[in-house]
Amino acid sequence: MLLDGKKLLITGVLTPQSIAFAAATSAQEHGAEIVLTNFGRAVSLTQKVAKRLPQPCDVLEMDVTDEAQIDAVREELASRWGRVDGILHAIAFAPQDALGGNFLHTPWDSVATAVQTSAFSLKSVAVGLLPLMRDHGGAIVSLDFDARVAWPIYDWMGVAKAGLEAVTRYLARDLGAMGIRVNTVSAGPIKTMAGKGIPGFDQITGSWGDRAPLGWDAEDPAPVGDTVTFLFSDLARGITGEMIHVDGGFHAIGTTPVAAPT
């Protein structure tokens, strides 16, 4: 199995439709032992969802904007495992006034929240868990939505995701000497709770499958989860600093085809 014996920390599992849930499922199916995290009232939701995994697992509380909570998770995993082989950063948040076409009017406080939670937190978690990865290497993976272009209604979350992509490259630079790979997965739109919370989300998902050469099922996060498993595995040992697209090929096509070739 690809991840036999590996110890993984997976954030962001909220519902069975979460991309992180698909990643956790795939990781377990490939032999990994995992622990999930969430914070506040969402912890109880994650605990319920964890029971639906192939192997129910523990849920720890970790607010990625709180250094003390990150440190507490590190100490717990140090006691439990002694090491961490991989981390999935599946966390993004922007206040409502930072989305939905309000780009020109969003106040700095809302922008700061989006950037800290969605981009800076990748660095926070990587540095916080580094003592458990430094001696043997490993892989850090985050979830992205291609921020090389401007999307309708995505606004400051798009800016935060651009920051996430940059953080990925700089972490890859600084952690590579320790054998730690850092990559991000740019997924096509998935109808998760987070996605549904973006005003006008259907504007993005509506024609995605028409343009993507492989088509796209916005209700199936499994292809993204399987790619995360690959990036955690030793098969990806030569890949770092990359943005891997799992979007049916949408990113490679300039416009919706007029007619498919016969």
Distances, alpha carbon 72 to alpha carbons 33, 63, 64, 121, 138, in Å: 19, 11, 11, 16, 20
User: Which parts of 12-160 are beta strand (E)?
Assistant: 33-38, 59-61, 86-89, 138-144
Alpha-carbon span 160 to 250, nearest angstrom: 21
CA–CA distances in Å: residue 108 to residues 98, 131, 163, 183, 197: 9, 34, 16, 28, 21
Residue 161 annotated to the active site: yes
Tokens 């790619």, residue located? 227
260 close to 212: Cβ distance less than 8 angstroms = no
Which of 6, 7, 48, 161 is labelled catalytic? 161
- Rg of the chain over all Cα atoms, to the nearest angstrom: 18
Q: Of the listed 7, 154, 170, 191, which one is catalytic?
A: 154
Asked if 49 contacts 37 with a C-beta cutoff of 8 angstroms, the reply is: no
Which helix (H) or strand (E) segment holds residue 185: the answer is strand 180-187
- With contact defined as beta carbons under 8 Å apart, do 20 and 88 qualify? yes
Q: Is 98 exposed, middle or buried (0-12, 13-18, 19+ CB in 10 A)?
A: buried
Give the three-state DSSP class for 189. coil
Residues recognised as catalytic: 154, 161
